[in-house]
Structures are given as structure tokens and as C-alpha cells.
């Protein structure tokens, strides 16, 4: 940790050189009630995360922690019994960050599995598993991942995470809507059998303490904690981390842009505090950079996008929707993405984003359908990119689609594939088909539609990508639903498309 | 490891404006370098002590639900930062809300109750999908005879509403006067909510004479399914129109007030009425 400055101490990444790992006063028991996590993996390390919260649902959002800094030590080992410890460190959990710590571990070996745990006073955390990425510029034999999104805790149990956590994964992509801002009301939207919430959860969240509390509520789920502890996560957001359907500084609910930035600031702050993100994503006021890139050796390049913070306004009319200048990503992120795709030497180029790229209908203006010129630029960049794969969430349905060079001509060449994962719980049980099925399946390039809850599993090798769409038949009644694979596709390297096996 | 948490700055520039049933507060936010958890709005009615009224992340607060007869309150703001540390209170400001014509006037014709709720109106709180079949020709309501629960739709759509046929919609209020009014008449048109981006406008006319085009405030697009804006934490964004109408517009016998929504999307009614001055 040498070389890290006061800023990283304040950010819960490190501790002063002289810092004592023993707290001044005892740490409340059960301080690790929100579990542990890792994320943003690199060939030599990852971000570790925990947040001290002995009373996760304390209404002030501070998790029952006293308003003072607490030293938190961590250990990283090659084995789950911690006989071969390879790194130790100390970070300061401060009330300014709701007692979250984000130590950024370095010096690990590439492509290896590691185990980590935290200690605060006499409190010891559960053990988490993480994995470093393969060495930069070197071949890798495979990369296994899961993709998940849209976890409305109040709509159902997180049984999909129970199954996801049992997989042997190199990483988990989370594609947005980690929380929802809506009030949670029994008899209204609280469909999760056996769950109850206090009145402090019954209103739309707005303040930092309310956003913190909402993360705590969702994170009390044991299967979400298990999924975080199973593999490093690569996260982006969609809209509900702030407010439904917002874009840039524009609320859809009558809040002025000047005021809405204050709401965005606390939403982004709580996102950083509660997730395993590196300090590059720490917000500065209402701004936060979450678009970033990771390389899986030469097997894959992972581009994590932000499809909320920089987008143009909703179109005012059809001419505006079609305007060439319109952008969903913002000029800087667009250029960053196209440059990264053009320079990539990877076999697979993954784009993880919040909203659907595939053309479905002109009135779906919150998706890429509202930004056709930006989509054309993206598809054009894909033509010159090796094996583009888009991972998406948002719509609470499993959808697999081939991305066409020109969606106006469905017979045009496929330039990539889009794998859209359904929700973990949002919209409750769901059904195989629903009112929107025809709308999606009328397009020949859409190869799958299933309206039940679940996640997508993918395995990349130098030769192919195998994607499996997993569902759980119910989520409202309990967390006991079995996992079912409803579709398996093979995408051969060099041949963009979806060959259905199951 | 003990660290003294320094309190954040108090806000400056607190100011208030009295409106109908509402006092609107604004202040200068602290700089972005302070990570704000929320601003705590403290309030004191005349002759009473301070109490926590609300927490908000915005440098703005609307104290709603005040008495129609007008109320006077004092306010001050406390900044609470991300560590939970509170600032000293800001300077205070004293503000009075306006008196509504629904209190100061004599009702001539009223539809619904001016209470922040639209629940007593037809199709409320979420029956907008039945509007086209229930009110194919808009609303034609006779005060004193028709019932608000069946005769006055809680939503008045506009031409931007696909669910209502993307066309203009006329709401007509008929009422009788024993004699032509001796003074100007006051219109009270209260909404519990409206569309957040395109509430639009409506043409107001009385007895065939166009009075003016009323522009509606942006709402929260929640009033199409929620009928009560008075529930604590309600996401609805009520707004109020009260304006004098020249007495020459009115006559003895039957009078007709019309609202022709030919621009924008829907508005959600709380109540509408006409009042004579004492």
C-alpha cells in the first residue's frame, strides 16, 4: 500500500502507515451483515469490498455504526482455509462512506483463484472468492461469466442468484437496476412472500440516507451476498439507481435539471459506496465515470458502458429521433468505445450496457431505438471488430438477437450478437410468453424471448461462445425454484450469429 | 483512530414565496465538495417551536397542505453531510401562504372537494383506460344535478394522449345563477397532478366567450394512477389555478364554463369551482 496518499485513506482504500488495526472501541457484533464482494478484476488484483453494518436497516442509512472511523484489515489467500496468505492490508472504514471499504489489491498472479476476508476488531467476515484476469497480451483458454440485472427485491426472491452462485465463474456482469427507487408498500408492490418492511421504505427514495438504506435492504438477501462472494463483479447502472427513465440531468417526473443533479449525486454516491468499484468510479459531485475496460488476455476485451449519464434528451419528434447528431453514449464515451474496439487484439469484444441495442420498435425511445444514428455508428464500428458480443439487461425478459449491419434490411449481414438477460426478480414470476412476445419475435433476427426470471451464462473460448439462458419458474412464493436452461446458443468465432442447440 | 468530524457549512440565501396552500422555499446549495446526505427543513408555525418538517436532497422544498385560509411559518435549513454530521442552522425566513378563494368566496358551482384528493371524481384513481368509453364526448356536467363520482372524469386528457384517442377533449360545467353577479367571479381549478413534461394548456371560455388559454404546471405523471396527494411522501405534484373572471361574462339563468384541452397531455383534477366575492 506504499505510495497511496491521504485521499485513498479517506476513500476506504488504504490506511495511514502508522495505523493500528485495533479499533479504539469494540466494533458492534454482526458488522459484516451485508457480506463481502470483489470487482473490477485485473491480471494482478481486484477491488475488495465490504461495508460495516451491524444493523443494516437502521433508518439513518449508517447501518448501526457509530459515527467514527474504524480500521478494517483484510487477507487474501490462495486457499479458502487461508493457509497460504499472499496479501494483507488495512483500510479505514469511515462514516463519510457509510463505513464501506474498497481496498484495491495488487501483486497477485494472473488467471488465479483467490480467497479473501475482512476483520474489524473481533468481527470476521464471511470468505469471498475472486479471480484475477489472465495475463495481459497472453492467450487464455476460456472465460466463463454470468450476466444479471434488475433485482427488484420486493417483487420476489433471489433464487436465480442461488443457482448463479453455484457456478464456477470468472466474473459476473451486472447490467443495471441493482436497486429501485420506488416506495415499497405491502398490498401494493411487495410481492415477495414472507417479507415485510417498515414505513421508512414506503416512499420514493431521494436522500443519501434513503439510497443507502435501499442498498442495505436489497443486500440483506443471502443469495445476492452468495453471488457477490462467488466471483468478481463488473457492474454498470441503468436508470433505477437514480430514478426511472432519467437521462443525463433530466428527470421524467417534473424535477428541474438543476435540482435533479443533486438527486443524481446521491444516487451515484450510494452506488459507489455499496459496490466493489475502483476509485476511478468515485463520484465528484453529480458526475461519476463508470465506463471502463478490461482485457481477458487476448481472448476477450470487456467494455463496460454507461448508457444514462451522457445521453441526449428523448426525441421531440421523428425528425429529431433520426438526427445524425443524437447520441446515447455521449461524444467522449463513443470515441473511447470505438477506439477501444478498433485497437482490440482480442478474439471476443464484449460490450456490457444498460439498454437494448437491437431494433425493436421506433417508440422504445429509452433504448437504442431512440438513438438510431448512434446505433448506426456502433454497428459500423462492430463491422471492423472481432466478434462483438453485447450484454444487456433492462427489459425483464430473456432475449437473444443477432445484430444486423442494417436493421432496416433484416437480410443484411450480422455483425454481432446481443444476449439480453432477464431480471433476477423485477416483475415477479413472469411467464414464458406475455403481451410483448409478438412485438419482439416478429423480427427474424430475434431468436429467443422468454418472460421469466433468471440469468445468462456464457463461456468463451478461442473457438466459440456458448450462451445459456437460465430461468427460475417462480420467485414470488419462495426461493426454492429450480433452475432450468431454456435455450443454448453457440456463436462460432468469426461467424456472428446464434446457432440454437437447445 | 479517533477523528473529529467537522460540520458542513450552513446554506445561505434561504427565501420563501407564499402560494395557495403552499409555501415554496429555495436556498443556495453548499458546494459539491461537500457530499450532502440531505437538507433538513425545520419549520415553526407562528408562536410555536421548531420541528423537523422534511428531509430533501434538493435546495428546494414545497411545504404543501397548508390551510386554505392562509398560514404563516418560519423556516431554517440544516445541512447533513455524508457522515451524518449536521451544520448549524441557516438564517431563518418567515413566509405566509395565500388565502384561497375557496375560503374567502361564496361557492356558486363546485365539482369535487378542494382537499388534495381526486378520489371522489369519476374513474379515479386509475381508471383512465375506461375514459374513452365512459366519456366519448368529453364531460358535460350540470352543477347541483350531476354527481362528481360519475359525471366528472378525474383526468382530462389532451391530444398527446394515445389512450384517449390523440384528440382534443372538452369539459363543460353548467350552472345556474339566480342573478347576474355584482362583482367579478373567481375560478378555482386545483390539480392533484399533471403530466411531467407536457401538461400543456386548455382554452377557458365562459358562455361562449374565450377568456384565455390556461397553462398548467408540470406535474409528476403519477396522478393517472394515484388519487391522493396528501399522503406523506406522495410522489404527486399538485398545482393550483385561481383567477378572477370579469362579472360581465356571466348572466342570470344557465351559464356554461368550458375547458378545451387542445394542447399537451392530461391533467388530474382535485376540484373545480366558481366563487362569488363577499
Q: pLDDT tens across B112-151, in order?
A: 999 999 999 999 999 999 999 999 999 999 999 999 999 9
Supply the DSSP symbol for B86. B
Contacting residues of B for A94, CB less than 8 Å apart: 3, 83
Domain CATH code at residue A149: 3.60.21.70
Prior bond of A403 cis (ω within 30°): no
Q: Do A253 and B222 touch (CB under 8 A)?
A: yes
Contacts of B237 in chain A (CB under 8 A): 253-254
Q: At what angle do helices A208-219 and A257-274 cross, to 10 degrees?
A: 40
Question: From A285, which residue of chain B is nearest by alpha-carbon distance?
Answer: B32
pLDDT for B157: 98
Q: Dihedral, CA atoms, A36, A41, A45, A47, nearest 10 degrees? A: -40
Using a CB-CB cut-off of 8 Å, the residues of chain B touching A253 are 196, 220-222, 235, 237
- Residue A6's pLDDT is 67
Any domain includes A325: yes
Cα of A451 vs its chain's centroid, Å: 21
Using CA atoms, how far apart are residues B83 and B37, in angstroms rounded to an integer?
Answer: 8
**Chain-chain contact of B36 with A265 (C-beta, under 8 angstroms):** yes
| Secondary structure E strands in B29-104 | 36-45, 51-56, 60-63, 72-81, 93-96
User: Of the candidates A183, A204, A208, which has its C-beta nearest B37's C-beta?
Assistant: A208
Nearest to A206 among B57, B84, B220 (CB): B57
Contact of A125 with A227, CB cutoff 8 Å? no
Going by the DSSP 8-state scheme, the letter that residue A241 receives in this structure is: T
A-chain residues within 8 Å CB-CB of B36? 208, 262, 265-266
Between B3, B38, B58, which is nearest A208 by CB? B38
Q: Mean pLDDT over residues B3-26, rounded? A: 92
Of B2, B59, B84, the CB nearest to A62: B84
What pLDDT was estimated at residue A409?
A: 94
pLDDT at A327 over 80: yes
Across the range A454-472, mean pLDDT stands at 98
In a domain, A120, yes or no: no
Residue A423 sits in which domain range?
142-500
Query: Does some domain include residue A86?
Result: no
Q: Would you say residue A407 lies in a domain?
A: yes
Contact residues, chain A, for B220 at CB < 8 Å? 253-254
> What value does the mean pLDDT of chain A take?
96
DSSP letters, A243-268, are STT-BTTB-SSS--HHHHHHHHHHHH
Contact B82 A252 (CB under 8 A): no
Q: Which domains does chain B possess?
A: 12-96 (2.60.40.10), 101-277 (2.60.120.260)
A18 domain-assigned? no
Other beta carbons within 10 Å of B219 = 28
Closest to B63 (Cα-Cα) out of B14, B11, B25, B116 = B25
The predicted-structure confidence for A236-268, as pLDDT tens digits, reads as follows: 999 999 999 999 999 998 899 999 999 999 999
Whether A107 maps to a domain, the answer reads no
Give the pLDDT confidence score for residue A17 in this predicted structure. Answer: 80
| Chain B residue closest in CA terms to A15 | B1
- In terms of Cα–Cα distance, which of A190, A158, A258, A233 is closest to A474? A158
What is residue A163's predicted lDDT score, i.e. its pLDDT?
98
B111 vs B146: CA distance, rounded Å: 9
Burial bucket for residue A81 (CB in 10 Å: 0-12, 13-18, 19+) = exposed
Structure confidence at residue A3 (pLDDT)? 43
CA R_g for chain B = 22
For residue B74, the SS3 value is strand
Non-local CB neighbours of A222 within 8 Å, separated by 6+ positions: none
B84/A67 Cβ within 8 A? yes
Alpha carbon separation from A34 to A43, A54, A217, B116 (Å, rounded): 27, 8, 9, 41
pLDDT of residue A1: 38
Taking the C-alpha atoms of residue B210 and residue B258, their distance in angstroms, rounded to an integer, is 9
Q: Which residue has the cell 468463451?
A: A460
Which residue pairs, CB below 8 angstroms and at least 24 apart, start in A404-408?
Answer: A404/A359, A404/A379, A404/A445, A405/A379, A406/A379, A407/A358, A407/A359, A407/A375, A407/A445
Predicted TM-score (pTM) of the model is 0.89
Q: What is the mean pLDDT of residues A153-182?
A: 98
Answer whether residue A116 is part of any domain: no
> Does residue B235 have a pLDDT over 90?
no
* Among chain A residues, CA nearest to B38: A207
- Which pLDDT band holds residue B246 (cuts at 50, 70, 90)? very high
Cell of A48: 475488495
Is A85 among the domain residues?
A: no
Per-residue pLDDT of B159-191, as tens digits, reads 999 999 999 999 999 999 999 999 999 999 999
Per-residue burial over A89-123, b if 16 or more Cβ lie within 10 Å, else e, is bbbbbbbbbbbbbbbbbeebebbeebbbbbbbbeb
Flag if B58 and A263 touch (Cβ within 8 Å): yes
Residue of B nearest to A71 (CA): B1
Specify the higher pLDDT residue, B197 or A60. Answer: A60
Residue in chain B nearest A60 by alpha carbon: B84
How far apart CA B265 and CA B168 sit, in angstroms, is 10
Query: Domain count of chain A?
Result: 1
Residue A459 banded pLDDT, cuts 50, 70, 90: very high
CB A14 within 8 A of CB A90: yes
Helices (H), A302-411: 318-321, 331-343, 372-383
Determine whether the interchain pair B38/A92 forms a contact, defined as Cβ–Cβ distance below 8 Å: no
CA A185, A187, A192: angle at the middle one, nearest 5? Answer: 75
Mean pLDDT of A465-489: 98
Amino acid at each position: 500500500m506504499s505510495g497511496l496518499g491521504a485521499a485513498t485513506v479517506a476513500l476506504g482504500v488504504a490506511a495511514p502507515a502508522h495505523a493500528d488495526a485495533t479499533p479504539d472501541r469494540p466494533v458492534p457484533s454482526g458488522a459484516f451483515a451485508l457480506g463481502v464482494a470483489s470487482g473490477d478484476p485485473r491480471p494482478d488484483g481486484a477491488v475488495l469490498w465490504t461495508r460495516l453494518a451491524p444493523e443494516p436497516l437502521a433508518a439513518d442509512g449508517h447501518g448501526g455504526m457509530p459515527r467514527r472511523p474504524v480500521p478494517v484489515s483484510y487477507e487474501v489467500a490462495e486457499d479458502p482455509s487461508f493457509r497460504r496468505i499472499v496479501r494483507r492490508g488495512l483500510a479505514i472504514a469511515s462514516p463519510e462512506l457509510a463505513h464501506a471499504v474498497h481496498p484495491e489489491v495488487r501483486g497477485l498472479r494472473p488467471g488465479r483463484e483467490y480467497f479473501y476476508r475482512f476483520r474489524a476488531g473481533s468481527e470476521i467476515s464471511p470468505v469471498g472468492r475472486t479471480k484475477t484476469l489472465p495475463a495481459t497480451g497472453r492467450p487464455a483458454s476460456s472465460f466463463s461469466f454470468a450476466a444479471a440485472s434488475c433485482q427488484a427485491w420486493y417483487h420476489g426472491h433471489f433464487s436465480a442468484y442461488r443457482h448463479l452462485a453455484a457456478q464456477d465463474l470468472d466474473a459476473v456482469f451486472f447490467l443495471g437496476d441493482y436497486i429501485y427507487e420506488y416506495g415499497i408498500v405491502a398490498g401494493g408492490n411487495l410481492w415477495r412472500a414472507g417479507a415485510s418492511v417498515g414505513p421508512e421504505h414506503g416512499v420514493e427514495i431521494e436522500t443519501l440516507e434513503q439510497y443507502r438504506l435501499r442498498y442495505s435492504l436489497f443486500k440483506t438477501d443471502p443469495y445476492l451476498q452468495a453471488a457477490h462472494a462467488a466471483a468478481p463483479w463488473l457492474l454498470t447502472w441503468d436508470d433505477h439507481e437514480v430514478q426511472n427513465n432519467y437521462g443525463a440531468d433530466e428527470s421524467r417526473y417534473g424535477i428541474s435539471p438543476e435540482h435533479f443533479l443533486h438527486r443524481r449525486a446521491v444516487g451515484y454516491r450510494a452506488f459507489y459506496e455499496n459496490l466493489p468499484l475502483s476509485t476511478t468510479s468515485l463520484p465528484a459531485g453529480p458526475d461519476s465515470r463508470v465506463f471502463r475496460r478490461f482485457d481477458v488476455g487476448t481472448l476477450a476485451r470487456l467494455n463496460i458502458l454507461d448508457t444514462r449519464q451522457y445521453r441526449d434528451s428523448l426525441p421531440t419528434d421523428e425528425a429529431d429521433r433520426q438526427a445524425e447528431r443524437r447520441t446515447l453514449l455521449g461524444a467522449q464515451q463513443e470515441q473511447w468505445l470505438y477506439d477501444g474496439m478498433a485497437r482490440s487484439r482480442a478474439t471476443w469484444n464484449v460490450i456490457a450496457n444498460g439498454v437494448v441495442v437491437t431494433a425493436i420498435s421506433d417508440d422504445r425511445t429509452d433504448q437504442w431505438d431512440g438513438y438510431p444514428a448512434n446505433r448506426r455508428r456502433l454497428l459500423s464500428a462492430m463491422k471492423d471488430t472481432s466478434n462483438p458480443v453485447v450484454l444487456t439487461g433492462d427489459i425483464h425478459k430473456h432475449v437473444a438477437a443477432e445484430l444486423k449491419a442494417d436493421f432496416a434490411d433484416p437480410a443484411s449481414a450480422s455483425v454481432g450478437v446481443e444476449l439480453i438477460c432477464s431480471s433476477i426478480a423485477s416483475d415477479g414470476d413472469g411467464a414464458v410468453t406475455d403481451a410483448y412476445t409478438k412485438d419482439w419475435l416478429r423480427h427474424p433476427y430475434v431468436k429467443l424471448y422468454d418472460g421469466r426470471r433468471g440469468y445468462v451464462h456464457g463461456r468463451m473460448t478461442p473457438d466459440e461462445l456458448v450462451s445459456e439462458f437460465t430461468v427460475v419458474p417462480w420467485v414470488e412464493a419462495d426461493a426454492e425454484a429450480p433452475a432450468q436452461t431454456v435455450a443454448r446458443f453457440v456463436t462460432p468465432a468469426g461467424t456472428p450469429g446464434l446457432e440454437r442447440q437447445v | 483512530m479517533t477523528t473529529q468530524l467537522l460540520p458542513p457549512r450552513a446554506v445561505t440565501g434561504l427565501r420563501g414565496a407564499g402560494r395557495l396552500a403552499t409555501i415554496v422555499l429555495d436556498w443556495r446549495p453548499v458546494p459539491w465538495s461537500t457530499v450532502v446526505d440531505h437538507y433538513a427543513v425545520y419549520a415553526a408555525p407562528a408562536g410555536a417551536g421548531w420541528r423537523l418538517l422534511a428531509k430533501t436532497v434538493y435546495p428546494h422544498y414545497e411545504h404543501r397542505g397548508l390551510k386554505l385560509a392562509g398560514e404563516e411559518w418560519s423556516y431554517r435549513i440544516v445541512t447533513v453531510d455524508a457522515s451524518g454530521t449536521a451544520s448549524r442552522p441557516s438564517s431563518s425566513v418567515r413566509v405566509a401562504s395565500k388565502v384561497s378563494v375557496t375560503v374567502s368566496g361564496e361557492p356558486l358551482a363546485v365539482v369535487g372537494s378542494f382537499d388534495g384528493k381526486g378520489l371522489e371524481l369519476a374513474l379515479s384513481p386509475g381508471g383512465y383506460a375506461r375514459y374513452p368509453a365512459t366519456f366519448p364526448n368529453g364531460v358535460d356536467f350540470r352543477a347541483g344535478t350531476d354527481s362528481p363520482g360519475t359525471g366528472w372524469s378525474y383526468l382530462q386528457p389532451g391530444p398527446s394522449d394515445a389512450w384517449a384517442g390523440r384528440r382534443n377533449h372538452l369539459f363543460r360545467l353548467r350552472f345556474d345563477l339566480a342573478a347576474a353577479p355584482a362583482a367579478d367571479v373567481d375560478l378555482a381549478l386545483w390539480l392533484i397532478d399533471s403530466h411531467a413534461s407536457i401538461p400543456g394548456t386548455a382554452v377557458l371560455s365562459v358562455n361562449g366567450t374565450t377568456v384565455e388559454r390556461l397553462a398548467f404546471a408540470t406535474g409528476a405523471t403519477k396522478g393517472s394512477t394515484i388519487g391522493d396527494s396528501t399522503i406523506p411522501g406522495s410522489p404527486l405534484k399538485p398545482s393550483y389555478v385561481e383567477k378572477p373572471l370579469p362579472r360581465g361574462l356571466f348572466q342570470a339563468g344557465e351559464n356554461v364554463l368550458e375547458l378545451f384541452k387542445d394542447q399537451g397531455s392530461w391533467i388530474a383534477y382535485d376540484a373545480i369551482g366558481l366563487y362569488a366575492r363577499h
